Amino acid sequence: EAAVTQSPRNKVAVTGGKVTLSCNQTNNHNNMYWYRQDTGHGLRLIHYSYGAGSTEKGDIPDGYKASRPSQENFSLILELATPSQTSVYFCASGDGGINQDTQYFGPGTRLLVL
């Protein structure tokens, strides 16, 4: 069974503070993703990675940085958190197969920026 874990599961941050969301996968997948989920917008891609050391911008990268130090770990960094970044964040991993391109999601992190 694919396994993606996220920490913390819940986070309260202050405006202007730094927030780091962590993700670990034991699937040995090359690809990892960070999404945010907001009502009416579905899942929006923030950053993704094709392997250790690589990061790519998704559809809404402004205000976020990403780091992929190893195959297993992928972090999302909010250097200066703002209330508009209050959301639920999901990490996912996948192997990017041609005919079956399944992404396995973690349980999510609820972030509240005050």
Partner 1 sequence: QQQVRQSPQSLTVWEGGTTVLTCSYEDSTFNYFPWYQQFPGEGPALLISILSVSDKKEDGRFTTFFNKREKKLSLHIIDSQPGDSATYFCAGRGSALGRLHFGAGTQLIVIP
Q: What's the gap between Cα 29 and its chain centre?
A: 15
**CB nearer partner 1, residue 5 or residue 15:** 5
4 near partner 1, rule: CB under 8 A: yes
Rounded distance between C-alpha atoms, residue 39 and residue 87, angstroms: 9
CA angle 3/110/24 to nearest 5° reads: 25
Q: Are 29 and 91 in contact (CB under 8 A)?
A: no
**CB nearer partner 1, residue 31 or residue 71:** 31
**CB nearer partner 1, residue 14 or residue 95:** 95
The contact pattern for partner 1, residues 16-55, with x = CB under 8 A and - = no contact, is ---------------x---x----xxxxxx--x-x-----
H or E element at residue 42: strand 42-49
Among 26, 79, 96, 112, binds partner 1 (CB under 8 A): 96
Tokens 């503070």 appear where? Answer: 17
DSSP secondary structure letter of residue 74: E
Among 8, 101, 112, 114, binds partner 1 (CB under 8 A): 101
Query: Rule CB under 8 A: which residues touch partner 1?
Result: 4, 31, 35, 40-45, 48, 50, 90, 92, 94-108
